[in-house]
Amino acid sequence: MLARIQKIPNPAEASFIYRRKADPRFRFNWHFHPEYELTWIQSGRGKRFVGDHIGDYRAGDLVLLGPNLPHTWCSEPDARPRKSAHRAVVVQFREDFLGDAFFARPELKDIRRLLERSAQGLAFGGRAQAQATPKLEAMARRSGLARLLLLLEALEGLASAGVRRVQVLSSRQFAPALRRHDEHRIDRVCRFINERFREDIAQPQAAAQVHLSLPAFSRFFKRATGKTFTDYVNELRVGWASCQLIETDRSVAEIAFAAGFNNLSNFNRRFLERKGLSPSRFRRQHARSGA
């Protein structure tokens, strides 16, 4: 997706940004910035877009993003909207926020490697996530040096996370085309798709949103997202279906059609491609794990 650059002013009293978000929902806002970003979702759920990655998020989600990596979180609206149903803590800092060579020091080699790995986006689970989030929460009650030390402690804990507890989000091949004049077009297209992916949506409808011919739209969309229109829609549908398989007792066939697939065999194929197992086996595995 073609992203807009976001300029983040540093507060006069701090060298990095710490903020708490509370909204009825997080809206699709595809953007990038030169700062690293550590985002912890405290409540709410929806879709996480990072580079060419599309995934589900829910409360507890913890992600570290490298500089200039396009991203957005897009919440699923609550059936009964509340003023602050979707909450997050966001920390943003530049590589040189503590000086040009701060992270080059031997004592910080693990954090330096963590920051290098974050170029593709990293999602954390297990003990690393459990240890880091209390520090992010405590930062709200601290300022100055105390807040800075909590950030460094959180990064140190994430740097020690085992490989199995860290998910790399975007592919190495993803190289966003950041054309400023196209930013409104891709925003319009993605909002259109995200709001209608469970319907009988077709590429000509999306192309019409930005007044492009089908061949031009196909090139535009693939260049921007790294995916075809069909692959993008299917990822959203499979993600929605995954939540339904875990959280409801609806039949696989009912979920397939509700997700927007026109036949069960097509749903099974697309689900297997993206999840590595069938919908029924996916449901059984989560049921056994108590998810």
Q: Are residues 25 and 159 in the same domain?
A: yes
The domain boundary residue, chosen from 168, 193, 211: 168
Q: Are residues 158 and 245 in the same domain?
A: no
- Do residue 30 and residue 158 come from a single domain? yes
Q: Which residues, other chains included, contact 95 with Cβ-Cβ below 8 Å and sequence gap of 6+?
A: 36, 67, 103, 115
The answer on 253 and 111 residing in a single domain is no
Total domains present in the chain: 2
Start-to-end CA distance of the chain, whole Å, equals 32
Please report whether residue 173 resides in a domain: no
102 and 132 part of one domain: yes
Residue 8 in domain: yes
Q: For residue range 34-93, list pLDDT tens digits in order.
A: 899 999 999 998 888 888 788 889 999 999 999 888 888 988 765 455 666 889 999 999
Structural domain contains residue 174 = no
Note whether 12 and 132 are same-domain residues: yes
What pLDDT, on the 0 to 100 scale, is given for residue 4?
Answer: 53
User: Phi then psi for 92, rounded to 5 degrees?
Assistant: -130, 135
Say whether both 39 and 138 belong to one domain.
yes
Regarding whether 76 and 211 lie in a shared domain, the answer is no
| Residue 67: CATH number of its domain | 2.60.120.280
pTM comes to: 0.66
Handedness of CA 209, 210, 212, 214 (dihedral sign): negative
Euclidean distance between CA atoms 166 and 258, whole angstroms: 32
pLDDT in tens, 96-128: 899 888 888 898 999 999 999 999 899 998 889
Is residue 47 within 8 A of residue 54, CB to CB? The reply is yes
Q: Are 120 and 64 contained in the same domain?
A: yes
For 58, the domain range is 4-168
pLDDT tens column, 182-241: 666 777 888 888 888 999 999 999 999 989 999 999 988 887 777 899 998 998 898 888
Q: Is residue 176 part of a domain?
A: no
Burial class (CB in 10 A: 0-12, 13-18, 19+), 20: middle
From CA 25, how far away is CA 125, in angstroms rounded? Answer: 23
Residues 106 and 227 placed together within one structural domain of the fold: no
Q: Are residues 220 and 188 in the same domain?
A: yes
Q: Name the amino acid, one letter, at 132.
A: A
Question: What are 99's two structure tokens?
Answer: 């000086």
Span 144-150, average pLDDT: 94
CATH of the domain at 267: 1.10.10.60
| 3-class secondary-structure state, position 111 | helix
Q: Which two tokens stand for residue 168?
A: 């790399």
Q: Give the pLDDT score at 203.
A: 94
Helices 183-196, 229-247: axis angle to 10 degrees equals 40
pLDDT surpassing 60 at residue 282 = yes
User: Which residues are bridge partners to 65 per DSSP?
Assistant: 37
Mean pLDDT of 165-170: 89
Q: What is the pLDDT of residues 197-214, one digit of tens each?
A: 999 999 999 999 989 999
- Which of 168, 203, 230 finishes a domain? 168
CA 130, CA 232: separation in Å to the nearest integer?
32
In a domain, 175, yes or no: no
Rounded CA-CA distance 75/120 in Å is 22
The residue ranges of DSSP E strands in 187-230, in sequence order, are none
Residue 277 lies in a domain: yes
| 10 lies in the same domain as 141 | yes
Q: How far apart are CA 255 and CA 171, in angstroms?
A: 29
Rounded CA separation 177/173 (Å): 12
From 142, 168, 194, the end of a domain falls on 168
